[in-house]
Amino acid sequence: MIFRLPTPGRAPDPLPAMNPTDAFSDPQAVSRYAERTTRIVPGLRDLHAMAGLLLAERAPADARVLVLGAGGGLELAAFARARPGWRFDGVDPSAEMLRLAAATLGPLAPRARLHQGYIDSAPDGPFDAAACLLTLHFLPEPERRATLAEVRRRLKPGAAFVVAHHSFGADEADRWLARNAAFAVASGVPAEQAEGSIAAIRERLPVLAPKRDAALLREAGFAGVELFYAAFTFKGWVAYAA
């Protein structure tokens, strides 16, 4: 799921064309989450497969895995199908999206404990691996750094952590956002909606440049940071708890 942590003492602000209240609380909108996300994130299913493979390089067959932003359950289900011995703790602020995650998991649901909230709601672990997909681009830099540090605190030394989200420099934003919108239109998203998302992303998301995203991982206590996924405006890294 994509979400933004609130400033302490207040609810998160809605995002034009990507309103969390509408997209992640309304049951009808939530029911369309998987279809919508697949249309706007290039190679989403392959991203899940690659993330699972990277986590499995160091995680044992009976790993305990933390998934932050787990609402919808797409990555949970992909990881659970690929690794029958893994157990999961999934964290998300939306009750509706967590219900969708449970439904998406279906018979795999007993292997996942779902927690409503933010990173502070996650168990202390220690976890053998962690993932945070399509989430961190909603966090301003100080909150993002703090969230990454809290994930690191919950991981065993050497454990793999996979992240993926919007990441681009300000000087290249127009070019890459237009390409991402064109991908969405080619995937069936109405052109007006896809083009409207360009302004929403530019105005409301605190997107960082790839070099800064990688630096934040290192500042939060991760080493061996490597880019493994690049799809228009989206980038993904694997890193390891130092």
Rounded-to-integer distance, Cα 118 and Cα 104, Å: 21
Report pLDDT for 24. 56
CA distance 134 to 97: 14
The two three-digit tokens of residue 241, written as one number? 């708890």
Encoding tokens for residue 135? 């989430």
Q: What are 57-89's pLDDT values in tens digits?
A: 999 999 999 999 998 999 999 999 999 999 999
Q: How many domains does the chain have?
A: 1
* CATH, residue 156: 3.40.50.150
Question: pLDDT (tens digit, 9 = 90+) per residue, 21-62?
Answer: 445 555 555 556 667 888 999 999 999 999 999 999 999 999
In a domain, 216, yes or no: yes
Residue 149 lies inside a defined structural domain of this protein? yes
pTM (predicted TM-score): 0.88
Domain that holds residue 91: 20-237
Whether residue 170 is predicted with pLDDT greater than 90 in this model: the reply is yes
Mean pLDDT of 152-173: 97
pLDDT tens digits along 97-107: 899 999 999 99
Q: Which of 49, 15, 43 is nearest to 204 (CA)?
A: 15
Helices (H), 32-140: 33-40, 44-56, 74-82, 95-105
Residue 14 lies in a domain: no
What pLDDT, on the 0 to 100 scale, is given for residue 203?
87
Please report how many Cα atoms fall inside a 13 Å half-sphere around the Cα of residue 86, on the Cβ side: 26
Residue 172 lies in a domain: yes
DSSP 8-state assignment for residue 108? G
Sort strands 155-166 and 234-241 into parallel, antiparallel or unpaired: antiparallel
Cβ pair 157, 241 in contact under 8 A = yes
Both tokens assigned to 106: 């279906």
Residue 3 lies in a domain: no
Domain membership of residue 6 (yes or no) is no
Nearest to 64 by CA among 151, 132, 156: 156
Question: pLDDT, tens digit, for every residue of 97-147?
Answer: 899 999 999 999 999 999 999 999 999 999 999 999 999 999 999 999 999
Residue 1 lies in a domain: no
Is there a domain that residue 15 lies in?
no
